[in-house]
Amino acid sequence: MTKRTIATEGKEWSILMPYGYNGKILHVDLTNSRQEIEEPSQEFYRKYMGGSAMGMYYILKDTPIGVDPLAPENVLTVMASVVTGSLISGQSRVNVNARSPLTGAIGDSQSGGFFPANLKFAGIDGIVVTGRSPKPVYLTVIDGKVAFRDAGHLMGKLTGEVEAILKEELDDPKIHILQHGPGAENGVLFSALMSMANRANGRTGMGLVMASKNLKAIVVKGTKKMEMADRDGLKAIMKAGPGLMKENADVDDCGTFGTGACMNVHNEVGAQPFRNYNEGQWDRAVDISGETMSDTILLKRDTCYACIVRCKRVVEITEPPYEVDPLYGGPEFETLSTFGTYCGINNLAAVARANQTCNEYGVDTISCGATISFAMECFEKGIIGLEETGGLELRFGDAEVMLEVLQQIVTNSGALGPVLSQGSARAAEKWGPEAADCLITVKGLEAPAHMPQWKKGLGLIYAVNPFGADHQSCEHDPNYEEGSTDLILGHLAEIDLKEPQQPESLEPEKVRFAAKTQIFYSLMDTLELCQFVWGPAWCLYGPSQTVDMVRTVTGWDVSIDELMRVGERRLNMLRAYNAREGFGRKDDKLPNKFFKALKGSGPFAGKALDKEEYERALSLYYEMADWTEDGVPAPAKMLELGLEWVEMPS
């Protein structure tokens, strides 16, 4: 807390108040319909700062070891950070954590939009949810007032319908809603949480955890604006934004063409996953690129609270057969990839329609599209036949069939829905060892569209990341090569990365790059910062500006070392959770497919990861992280990070 003087009733009062945050965590016990506000100390906020670090504090303290992910005891946390709601780009994000029903490891997902900032404006910094309500309810937090309301009438409704019903019911079009969709009610293991019907906390099945608690939605709204310690200092950082964007082609392209701008770049390099990661290049990928979307179905660009980048897409298609409603946004690069190139589909309208279906039902587009492409490969190879598919010719390139399977998944119906709604790893258990060779999962989580054959350091982080293969958990290798721009290399030098590497290297310096930038990314999932705006390399603002921003918002005299320590703390908390559940080196495994030569055309055709090189890099990574040979945070590391209170396996 910071001593501040406020004037009221004609007098000046000196009181203790925080800058940047509310100092309030809402605890909700759904079993007993109870709620309580906790006011943690400033020390707590400075140590954990927000996001999944703050969430993991409660999860590690209160979740029983061995908990069933769908049991009332599985603690679910929804956390903003000490800087969420400040007036600068890329700060309106929220993190959701719980044990994942998809992987059994810790679950973790972030999303942006307006819900996160409005959670803060409603007067709280985060929510800890326990128990299970006897009947469906939704929670409202409006200007500090908390209430449970009946949600029976919302069940089975699409996310856009729930948005409309709640805005009318609460007579307020400005409320912000985080909800699970009917996909979770149908038992889809990779169910997401949605806000605005188009922003997803997509990964690791957090929607299903919330549904298991009979909590349909969280509604927030507030009039409180966050106080900044140094408003002018923050304004100066904000004002620099447009100029920095003009000078930074990567961020500018991200705004102009959306994340789909990656498609042509990856494809040209030969590392755009095609046909379930069997090939890395496709001459039709351009048809579903961000540039093509801008020229055809893009209605407008959208943004998150206070962000100048405006990378979000809103698309509209009015012609059959694939009409798309702008309410559901537009496909991101990962979605264009999983439903597009993974499945060999270059029909942009069909991919945009698949995106809408996922958003309507609240399911993760990465796991969903990748699970369909996995099933397509199984069918093409004769591992499954018409009996398993219910008569569908499940071939790469067939948009109609892709959409039919998607519908079966989100409704958990038909021949394939009950199998594929459980994710590809469980489907492979059913379909046998040949199917397992078609998987692209790590810890049961389907891999996003960044190929480790090109980005070996990222591949290593896919393996060690506590919640499975994730592309936003470290910086990508091509940014640490000679030839990277001065801007990027300058940012990286601020966190002591000064020796750019050869392409496709997995030498010790590359492992150090992966490990160090992983910690910076972990910090961003603690401060809840958008990784297209803040980051250690290509983004709008680099490490030193991140320090300045945290200082101006909170008034804390933080250093880059202190912030890196916060990121390291989060990573070790996630990893400690997994260790308690029996996860270790045996789970830090990349799929077999990545070690087999890529087929098709392009510079990476014929290339594969090398098992020995990868195992060496893994051991070195553990050493750098101060983890045991089994990948468990060592007691000395836990002590150093102030985490000695975490119960660990003996």
Report the residue number, 74 or 365, with the smaller CB distance to ligand SF4.
365
Q: Is 467 in the site for ligand SF4 (CB under 6 A)?
A: no
Handedness of CA 300, 304, 309, 311 (dihedral sign): negative
Q: What are phi and psi of 302, to 5 degrees?
A: -130, 175
Q: Is 112 in the site for ligand SF4 (CB under 6 A)?
A: yes
Nearer to ligand SF4, 88 or 515 (CB): 88
Q: Please report whether residue 602 would count as binding ligand SF4 according to CB under 6 A.
A: no
Q: Quick one: 309 or 435, whose CB is closer to ligand SF4?
A: 309
Contact region for ligand SF4 (CB under 6 A) — 157-165, 513-521, 525-533, 605-613?
525-533
What minimum distance in Å lies between the beta carbon of 251 and ligand SF4? 8
Q: Give the containing element (helix H, strand E) for 379.
A: helix 365-380
What character string, x for contact with ligand SF4 (CB under 6 A) and - otherwise, covers 477-516?
Answer: ----------------------------------------
Nearer to ligand SF4, 2 or 303 (CB): 303
Shortest distance (Å) from residue 420 CB to ligand SF4: 29
Rounded distance between C-alpha atoms, residue 614 and residue 225, angstroms: 48
Q: What is the dihedral of CA 329, 333, 338, 341, to 10 degrees?
A: 120
Query: Per-residue string for binding with ligand SF4, 292-321, x by CB under 6 A?
Result: -----------xx--x-xxxx---------
The least CB distance from residue 177 to ligand SF4, in Å, is 18
Closest CA to 47 of 82, 20, 92: 82
Residue 634, C-beta contacts closer than 8 angstroms, at least 6 positions apart = 626, 627, 628
* Region binding ligand SF4 by CB under 6 A among candidate stretches 29-37, 45-53, 386-394, 528-536: 528-536
Is residue 532 near ligand SF4 by the rule CB under 6 A? yes
Closest CA to 337 of 300, 365, 375, 356: 365
Alpha carbon dihedral 576, 580, 585, 589, in 10-degree steps, equals -90
Nearest to 372 by CA among 344, 330, 406: 406
Long-range contacts of 417-421 (CB under 8 A, 24+ apart): 419/388, 420/371, 420/372, 420/375, 421/186, 421/187, 421/188, 421/189
In whole angstroms, the minimum distance from the beta carbon of 543 to ligand SF4 comes to: 18
Which of 90, 126, 205, 602 binds ligand SF4 (CB under 6 A)? It is 90
Q: How far is the CB of 568 from ligand SF4 (least distance, A)?
A: 24
CB 333 within 8 A of CB 263: yes
Supply the minimum distance, in Å, between the C-beta of residue 303 and ligand SF4: 4
**Least gap, CB of 61 to ligand SF4 (angstroms):** 31
Q: Residues 44-83 vs ligand SF4: string with x where CB under 6 A?
A: ----------------------------------------
Stretch that binds ligand SF4, among 489-497, 498-506, 529-537, 568-576 (CB under 6 A): 529-537
Q: Cis bond leading into 321, ω under 30°? A: yes
Choose between 42 and 303: whose C-beta lies nearer to ligand SF4.
303
- Of 307 and 375, which has the nearer Cβ to ligand SF4? 307
Task: Report d(CA 493, CA 454) in Å as an integer.
Answer: 23
Q: How far apart are CA 49 and CA 549, in angstroms?
A: 13
Nearest approach, Cβ of 332 to ligand SF4 (angstroms)? Answer: 9
**Least distance (Å) between residue 309 CB and ligand SF4:** 4
Q: Closest CB to ligand SF4 among 303 and 628?
A: 303
Tell me: does residue 530 bind ligand SF4 (CB under 6 A). Answer: yes
- Total Cβ atoms within 10 A of residue 394: 24
Considering the complex, state which of residue 376 and residue 530 has its C-beta at the smaller distance from ligand SF4: 530
Distance CA 207, CA 359 (A): 12
Name the nearest CA neighbour of 546 among 83, 219, 174.
83
- Contact between 187 and 412 under an 8 Å Cβ cutoff? The reply is yes
Query: 351 or 530, CB closer to ligand SF4?
Result: 530
Picking from 263, 417, 288, 277, the residue whose alpha carbon sits closest to that of residue 351 is 288
For the CB of residue 260, give the shortest distance to ligand SF4 in the complex, in Å.
12
- The DSSP secondary structure of 229-259, one letter per residue, reads S-HHHHHHHHHHHHHHHHH-HHHHHHHHH-G
Closer to ligand SF4 by Cβ: residue 93 or 99: 93
> Shortest approach of ligand SF4 to residue 514 CB, angstroms?
23
Nearer to ligand SF4, 111 or 371 (CB): 111
Q: Kindly determine how many residues on this chain lie close enough to bind ligand SF4 according to the rule CB under 6 A.
A: 13
Contact positions with ligand SF4 (CB under 6 A) in 135-154: none
Torsion sign, CA atoms 468, 469, 474, 477: positive
In sign, the C-alpha dihedral spanning 493, 497, 502, 504 is negative
Residue type, 46: R
3-state helix, strand, coil in the chain (%, to 5): 45, 15, 40
Closest separation between CB of residue 530 and ligand SF4, Å? 3
Identify the bridge partners of residue 45 per DSSP, sorted by sequence position: none
Q: What angle do CA 79, 81, 83 make, to 5 degrees?
A: 155
Residue span 258-297 as binding mask against ligand SF4, x where in contact by CB under 6 A, dash where not: ----------------------------------------
Q: Which is nearer to ligand SF4, 79 or 309 (CB)?
A: 309
Q: Minimum Å distance from CB 336 to ligand SF4?
A: 16
- The distance of closest approach from Cβ of residue 532 to ligand SF4 in the complex, given in angstroms and rounded to an integer, is 4
Task: Using CB under 6 A, list all residues that contact ligand SF4.
Answer: 89-90, 112, 303-304, 307, 309-312, 530, 532-533
